Chain A
Amino acid sequence: MKARVTVTLKNGVLDPQGKAIEGALKSLGVVGVAGVRQGKVFDIEVEGDDRGKAEAALKQAAEKLLANLVVENYRVDIV
């Protein structure tokens, strides 16, 4: 089973990297970009085909390691 965990910064947390990317897009002449927030994507291959078990394992993975819940949120998608 394939899954994707997406980790993003919480609202209100300053994101200097996102700001720099936003600035670079503007200097490249890409118009219409109002703001950029950068994050991380983890593509994970899960053993077995029990969706509930997979969701529990991925939640544990995200909360124990993949995201720092002080400043980040995460989302689990099983694809």
Chain B
Amino acid sequence: MKSAIILFPGSNREGDVFRALRQASGREPAIVWHADTDLPSGTDLVVLPGGFSYGDYLRCGAIAGRANIMDAVRAHAARGGLTLGICNGFQILCESGLLPGVLMRNRDLRFVCKMQRLKVERADTAFTRAYGSGQIVKVAIAHGEGNYTADDETLRRIEGEGRVAFRYCDAAGQVGGAANPNGSMNDIAGIYSDKLNVLGLMPHPENLIDPLVGGIDGTGMFASLAAA
């Protein structure tokens, strides 16, 4: 698998994604600067990493979502190319129109940084085949604007088309309630595009790939992608 990580001014999780992809695929991803206009030829997977692109100015992901490279990312996604946005990358995918909805300020106005359980909604996509459907995984979250919001019609469409990738739950697998860290509608932690080739999620699976840092539940996503 040939992957490319897009680097924006203010990205800061590109190294974590780099390690996770190298560990899973045995190949080093390319790092692509936001001002470039093309992806390396033969790119199978594009990753928009976490961080604070453009200092979160205007709205999180708003300026990065309109960067030069995003035209190439849109074309890649339109061809069915795999595209993954993590945390700020999810915000960028929403701002660029590649995914519906928006990530608003957390319900409690606090930046939340902790371990979080997620329920894997479906295990039949290029991102989740190494997981089981309904599996509960432990990953990290670290965001101030992760409150997924969409209008009723969009929400109904996403749910109806099976495009919710992950929901916030507790260790027992109970979805929502106190386990929802940011007020996201329907406890949504991540969503797919209509063709399931674009995934955006707030949590950081790339940070849970080594027992040294508290777990390896994140490896499933990168193993799935490496095998896709």
Q: Which residues of A contact B (CB under 8 A)?
A: 13-14, 16-17, 20, 64-66, 68, 70-71
- A17 neighbours in B (Cβ, 8 Å): 105, 109
* Nearest B residue (CB) for A64: B66
Interface size on B, residues (CB 8 A): 21
How far does the alpha carbon of A64 sit from the alpha carbon of B97 in the complex, in Å? Answer: 11
Contact A16 B107 (CB under 8 A): yes
Contact A14 B66 (CB under 8 A): no
Please count the residue pairs between chain A and chain B whose beta carbons lie under 8 angstroms apart in the complex: 37
Contact A68 B105 (CB under 8 A): no
Q: Which of B66, B105, B150 contacts A16 (CB 8 A)?
A: B105
B interface majority secondary structure: loop
B170 CB to nearest chain A CB (Å): 23
Q: Which residues of B contact A (CB under 8 A)?
A: 58-59, 62-63, 66, 94-95, 100-102, 104-109, 147, 149-151, 183
Interchain residue pairs A-B with the least CB separation, the first 9: A70-B102, A16-B109, A71-B102, A16-B105, A68-B102, A20-B109, A68-B59, A16-B107, A17-B105
Residue contacts A-B, CB under 8 angstroms, 13 given: A14-B104, A14-B107, A16-B109, A17-B105, A17-B109, A20-B109, A64-B66, A65-B62, A65-B66, A66-B58, A68-B62, A70-B102, A70-B150
Contact B66 A71 (CB under 8 A): no
Contact A71 B104 (CB under 8 A): yes
A48 CB to nearest chain B CB (Å): 24
Contact B149 A71 (CB under 8 A): yes
B78 CB to nearest chain A CB (Å): 20
